[in-house]
Amino acid sequence: MTHYPQDDSLSKFSTVSLQVAELDCAEEVRVLKDGLAKKPGIEKLDFDVMRGRMDVHYDDQQWNVHRLLEAVSSLGMTAHEVIETPQSESAAEPVRHNNDRERALIRSGAFLLVAVVIQVWESGGIGALFGHGEGAHTISVLAILLYLISISFGIRWIFPKAVKAVLRFSADMNLLMTVAVTGAIILGEFFEAAMVTLLFTLSEVLEQRSVTKARRSIQSLMSLAPDLARVKTETGIEEVATDEIENGQICLVRPGERIPLDGTVVQGLSAIDQAPITGESVPVEKEPGDTVYAGTINGSGSIEFRVAGTSGSTLLNRIVRLIDQAYQRRAPSEQWVDQFARYYTPTMMLLAVAVMVIPPTIVGWSAESATDWFYNGLVLLVIACPCALVISTPVSIVSGLTAAARHGVLVKGGLSLETVAKVKAVVLDKTGTLTTGMPTVTTVQCFGDQTNDQALAMAAGLQNHSTHPIAKAIVHYANQDEVAPAEFAHVEEIPGRGISGQIDGQRIWLGSTRLAAEQGADISELEGIAAKTGANVVALGQDNQLLAAFQLQDELRDTAGRAVESLHRLGVAQVELISGDRTSVVKDVAEKVGVDAWKAEQLPEDKIEAVLRLRNEHQLVAMVGDGINDGPALAAADVGIAMGAMGSDTAIETADIALMSDEIEKLPWLIAHGRRTLSLIRQNIFAALAIKVIFIILTMIGYPNLWLAILADTGVSLAVIANSLRLLRTKTS
Ligand SMILES: Nc1ncnc2c1ncn2[C@@H]1O[C@H](COP(=O)(O)OP(=O)(O)OP(=O)(O)O)[C@@H](O)[C@H]1O
Ligand SMILES: [Zn+2]
């Protein structure tokens, strides 16, 4: 049968990045989502409010960029396409800062001030500003004019959005503000109208500033990598811009300088401060063969290193890019607030209208009662403004993510941060998590007629193809004994068991006792060795013949016990150790670190099952692993946390959270940090709602005041922002 490509099978998805001029808060995100996301052919929308960007993933059979731009403008916004050049790589681009609005704020404030001075001077007292309801203050045309100019500066940012809200038949805070300001002008309360506008603009500016601030503190990470590097060339040493340096070139770094690019040390010894990436306070000794990272700080030795990759592909670059993406993922608490505001705002508007209309209808309409209740209704509108509520959560989340990154913990979104805060059970992998993950070969024992060196050459030859910690240990051991690894063909890794390959037409395997047994080998001798020494034993064999056994010892991290204790202290109900290693080894580790339960000789699929079982019992489960033979389990957990992610690209990309350093004590820190972030969010929401309730009550019992209401709201916004930014100052545990 012949295959003809079907029309719809040809349809493809494309992605375009749009710069949307009006996109600067959650409100616009909602509008764009409502207006676009559900249209056929729109696959996905991603927002980056801070840079005013929207990425559209669309079906290019149904849409093109031109049509997308039209769709955006039909929602009342203007957009243009962003063409990414390698240099304008998202992370490197400076955070957009809306200076226009700040300028408007200052002008609005200046005119307000002059107007106030004139009004007070004309009427001979401050009292003129605050009385209301009598309808007629003595106020000159000049003062009125100045107030109106002040208002016009601020309202320019609010009014267009309010109109669009009306056109969409929805109520948002811009509409609330516009109605309140217009109402106040109608009542002749110019001072209050101007004050409301000014304070509202102020809180919007503050929101933007604070988010920018949190973001900048990550971007300062980026600027850590120097722009110039000294490169070895045929003619000598030259200073070259880092983005012109190619893979494989040799760079020189003097003591105290920052490493310009990622690479491998080829000469020199030095201790390098990796805190910018890992948050570790202690410098790490580097020798030829070790990896160095862009942005880290060289200690007292001079080193030469061979560049790996380019300036765009450094670990630092990737981290900043991932954090950038993390900012865009909305946390559950953010969604909750959005959802809340969606009903809350129109409800408050209806309530305000009710206050304006119902009481005068009951007591009888008179000029006085109408004005009074109209004013009360306006106050209610202003109190209703949800802005403190709407800004609090994103600012907290962004600060929380940024603070974590500065401690060497890469959290890939607000959701992960909130989940880790609520974790009830933790599954730990052993190798690389509780132990250093750098086992060493202690003994080699041969059973066949070849020599130790021949066995070692074969083992090292196979292990050259593996990234398993055991593989590294065996290769390293062979290197030390100056044994050249044998060349293998058709090498296959057998997850959770070992590895096999062909040499001289023979199939050779290497792996756990379980693998040996599955190959039909007699494992009684292996069991004997393992029982005697308590070490991990790896067997080398051909068909069902045992050739050699390697004993390996992996050291426990000295902080492992304390970390488990901290987890218990934080109220984590169950800490389990799940390992692919032998029972005797795992049992020993489990007892030393004090976990609640342990399981040994677990295959990758068994590890998934363990995670699923714990999810049944404890709901939220975190799995911590090094990404080797536990990737699927990391994915099955509510939060997958990769340990020592610095060396492993896949761990960084796939885990929900990556602990860049090899420090297990970052785990309890992270849980505590997540809880701090959550509790800040709750405090903020509570404060914002509490102040509203207080002012509603004040209005009800007859102390309505328009500008005090908005002052309170702005005050809460400010407090909430300051509260959230506190996260940026958290210290490493
Ligand atoms: N590449 C390999 N070379 C040699 N042995 C291997 C290899 N991969 C797995 N094995 C064997 O399989 C066993 C299980 O491996 P696995 O990676 O699942 O767990 P582990 O590293 O022992 O411990 P943990 O599960 O705590 O990380 C190892 O103990 C080892 O005996
Ligand atoms: Zn507000």
**Which among 514, 508, 583, 497 is positioned nearest to 540, based on CA atoms?**
508
Q: In the sheet that 228-233 helps form, which strands lie side by side, from edge to edge?
A: 236-241, 228-233, 250-253, 303-307, 263-267, 291-292
Q: In the sheet that 657-659 helps form, which strands lie side by side, from edge to edge?
A: 409-411, 657-659, 639-642, 621-625, 425-429, 574-578, 597-599
Residues 307, 309, 315, 319, CA torsion sign: positive
Angstrom distance (rounded) from CA 716 to CA 684: 8
**Which among 522, 510, 466, 459 is positioned nearest to 485, based on CA atoms?**
459
**Tens of pLDDT, residues 47-66:** 776 667 888 888 878 888 88
Q: Which ligand is nearest to the CA of 474?
A: 1
Q: What is the pTM of this model?
A: 0.78
% of the chain residues with pLDDT over 70: 91
Q: Which ligand is nearest to the CA of 714?
A: 2
Q: How confident is the model at residue 135 (pLDDT cuts 50, 70, 90)?
A: very low
Q: How far is the CA of 525 from the centre of ligand 2 (A)?
A: 75
Does the C-beta of 132 come closer than 6 Å to ligand 1? no
Q: In the sheet that 297-298 helps form, which strands lie side by side, from edge to edge?
A: 284-286, 270-273, 297-298
The preferred substitution site among 466, 474, 476, 497 for testing ligand 1, maximizing ligand atoms within 8 Å of CB, is 497
- Range 344-361 average pLDDT: 84
Higher pLDDT among residues 647 and 247, named by residue: 247
pLDDT at 91 over 70: no
ipTM value? 0.92
Give the residue whose CA is nearest to atom 27 of ligand 1: 431
Contacts of 378 (CB under 8 A, 6+ apart): 179, 180, 183, 184, 187, 352, 706
Instruction: Give span(s): CATH 3.40.1110.10, the chain.
Output: 440-553
Architecture of the CATH domain 228-313:
Distorted Sandwich (2.70)
The preferred substitution site among 601, 623, 629 for testing ligand 1, maximizing ligand atoms within 8 Å of CB, is 629
Does the C-beta of 512 come closer than 6 Å to ligand 1? yes
Q: Which top CATH class is 440-553? A: alpha beta
What is the number of other CB atoms lying within 10 angstroms of the CB of residue 697?
Answer: 10
- Range 307-332 average pLDDT: 80
Distance, first Cα to last Cα, the chain: 66
**Tens of pLDDT, residues 526-567:** 888 877 777 889 999 998 899 999 999 888 888 999 999 999
What is the rounded average pLDDT for all residues in the chain? 83
Residue type, 266: V
Does the C-beta of 407 come closer than 6 Å to ligand 1? no
Neighbour-count burial of 518, counting CB atoms closer than 10 A to its CB (0-12 exposed, 13-18 middle, 19+ buried)? middle
Assigned fold of 7-83: Alpha-Beta Plaits (3.30.70)
Instruction: Give span(s): CATH 2.70.150.10, the chain.
Output: 228-313
Residue 429 annotated among the catalytic residues of the structure: yes
Q: Which CATH number is 409-432+559-660 given?
A: 3.40.50.1000
**Which among 396, 559, 580, 550 is positioned nearest to 481, based on CA atoms?**
550
Ligand 1 atom with least separation from CA of 603? 18
3-state secondary structure of 622: strand
Q: How far is the CA of 710 from the centre of ligand 2 (A)?
A: 7
Q: How far is the CA of 478 from the centre of ligand 1 (A)?
A: 19
HSE value, Cβ hemisphere, 13 Å, CA-based, for 478: 24
Say which of 429, 630, 662, 713 is annotated catalytic. 429
What is the number of other CB atoms lying within 10 angstroms of the CB of residue 713?
Answer: 27
Instruction: Give span(s): CATH 3.40.50.1000, the chain.
Output: 409-432+559-660
Which of 223-237, 420-434, 694-708 is predicted most confidently? 420-434
**Tens of pLDDT, residues 630-670:** 888 888 899 999 987 776 777 777 789 999 888 899 999 99
**Tens of pLDDT, residues 139-168:** 788 888 999 999 999 888 888 888 877 877
Instruction: Give span(s): CATH 3.30.70.100, the chain.
Output: 7-83
User: What pLDDT, on a 0 to 100 scale, did the predictor assign at position 641?
Assistant: 93
Contacts of 85 (CB under 8 A, 6+ apart): none
Residue type, 109: G
